[in-house]
Structure 1
């Protein structure tokens, strides 16, 4: 093979540009080390000459690092990319990774259509490539975590992992605050619509036959504790407030449960729904409007998350806004060693909309 026929190498590109090989490497792997103009010039010349960039496998063997960070998602990839909350978190993660020359690898802890308890990491071999892991969401079990390389940095987001750092909001206090606001106008019949709260998968009204997960296993138990603390303060026995559980935070799963609630006889139908997600609350709002149930006159609603959809439509949703983008940034910085790997609890904001003034 002649010199002109062989693929261009990093060294060749550096010689053509009259820069060091380290500078070319930084353009691909550590963009924060170069000016924007210089990096764009190097990348443009690399594209023109057909140089694809440093070989990740060779670099991994040479340095012991792949410069890949994996985000292990509790849901399917399709759901996670379409869900407003998880997509914001991923945006925060990639913002940090892009700035420090790392690549994102997405892995799903749940195969499409599989039951919650049958957790299986999507292609465990892929996980061995990553330098660190961010585990996000209401995970179906601990077996998945045990499949990840124990020596790599790992941060949980909305998920508790023994002896590993986590990033959360104060779910109990946030739900206490919004329930306390909602209860300033005493309801006749309050109800709670929870999210993935029971040990065994269950969608529908929760009975004494279902056991709740502990607050160490799901953030939604902390949210329930916050609701119930506010109810107790108002002299309402928590055991007298029915709880409906939803196992998947999507409209198709929410709708039948909400329909069951709203189709109760008027004298049994709740006039206050404390919902553990904006998706649940927005589903309730849509179905109430279809039935001629006025919000907030006949039914008051609260949500949790602060997604844009809840603030753009009328009536605007009363909710708790959490900064999911910042959650992603913090988790990524921890995994990269840019800030101490320790438990962090981010603040939330009570958003007073029209569904529960």
Structure 2
């Protein structure tokens, strides 16, 4: 790759000073029109693109906002398929809605829309593990950073937060210097279980999901509280602490084999609920006749599934927009609460037994 053109190259080609080149792009009103045109012609000829980070040096800011995700890809998306097969599958639309858009994609859309409204560029990054250093590189290039934490360690996030304002998605209020945006996970699942018990008479609901993640732990706590309120047995652990992998749903598979499937399966996410319904269908277990299934998130795939999925909808775009406002305000010295807990809404589909 050819070496990138610099401000020095443009100045030499246009026969002007470096300051004139800088003013042409940063403060064009200070440059005579004929001189400005000379600089622009030189820049076009050289393929010169002014550096956003360099423009921000005078103010100590880049004006850019960052969005970073740890471990937020589905296992099935991380392979290296043959190009022809990949293109054919995408054009056929096979399974696309189950992979995109997910909640991460919808939050990103809200983030980008609000950033565009405020005239802020967005830089995206992702990491494969809790030890990824990519977030450090991105944090050094932006005025603020929003993060989907995934498996990232708390100390890593707090370290990044010492350099720039940081917003963590799907994270409950904590005693740390970071900003947190989450939803009312616990009360939302309580409402969901109330509906299953009171409207549909389900008496043995089971929770599926890995409570290591803070938002999933809050949903399981809501599940436990709802069962206790109805005088039903309260499990100490989820029925199936599963992941979206080939060997997942071991407890559910065993229950199917034994003919002892709970009468309602409360899944921690929509993606998990859709996988559960696929497994039940393959074994001839009918939803909702034999077992009710619910999710959490409100992704598009749940509205298109058969049966349609009863779930809890999160305000994804609003979460993304709010993150941008927190980051821009904080970088400008305007304070925000450390934590926001946004409301949710239960969305009834046929998977719970509703018409």
Contact 2:186 2:220 in 1 (8 A): yes
Q: Which residue of 2 aligns with 1:31?
A: none
- Tell me the CA shift for residue 109 of structure 1: 4.5
Matched, 1:87 2:82: no
Of residues 240, 260, 264, the one that matches 2:257 is: 264
The 5-angstrom pairing of residues 32-71 of structure 1 reads: 53-71=49-67
The 5-angstrom pairing of residues 194-209 of structure 1 reads: 194-195=209-210, 197-198=211-212
Of residues 279, 285, 289, the one that matches 1:293 is: 285
Q: Which residue of 1 aligns with 2:95?
A: none
Contact 2:10 2:43 in 1 (8 A): no
- Tell me the CA shift for residue 257 of structure 1: 3.7
Matched, 1:107 2:125: yes
The TM-score with structure 1 as length reference comes to 0.74
Is the alpha carbon distance of 1:62 and 1:274 closer, same or farther for their aligned partners in structure 2, counting shifts above 3 Å?
same
Of residues 327, 336, 345, the one that matches 1:341 is: 336
Contact 1:121 1:144 in 2 (8 A): no
| Secondary structure in 1 matching 2:123 | strand
The TM-score with structure 2 as length reference comes to 0.74
Q: Which ranges in structure 2 are unaligned for 5 or more consecutive residues?
A: 1-8, 34-39, 79-98
- Tell me the CA shift for residue 123 of structure 1: 6.1
Q: Select between 167-176 and 73-82 the one with higher mean Cα deviation.
A: 73-82
Counterpart-to-counterpart distance in 2, 1:189 and 1:46: 73
| Secondary structure in 1 matching 2:271 | helix
Q: What value does the CA root-mean-square deviation take over the aligned residues?
A: 3.6
Is the alpha carbon distance of 1:314 and 1:125 closer, same or farther for their aligned partners in structure 2, counting shifts above 3 Å?
closer
Counterpart-to-counterpart distance in 1, 2:261 and 2:214: 28
Counterpart-to-counterpart distance in 1, 2:341 and 2:50: 38
Q: How many residues align?
A: 307
Contact 1:255 1:283 in 2 (8 A): no
Whichever structure has more helix as a proportion of its residues is: 2
Counterpart-to-counterpart distance in 2, 1:351 and 1:46: 58
Q: Which ranges in structure 1 are unaligned for 5 or more consecutive residues?
A: 25-43, 112-117, 199-216
Contact 2:184 2:344 in 1 (8 A): yes
Is the alpha carbon distance of 1:283 and 1:258 closer, same or farther for their aligned partners in structure 2, counting shifts above 3 Å?
farther
Counterpart-to-counterpart distance in 2, 1:121 and 1:141: 12
Q: Which residue of 1 aligns with 2:196?
A: 182
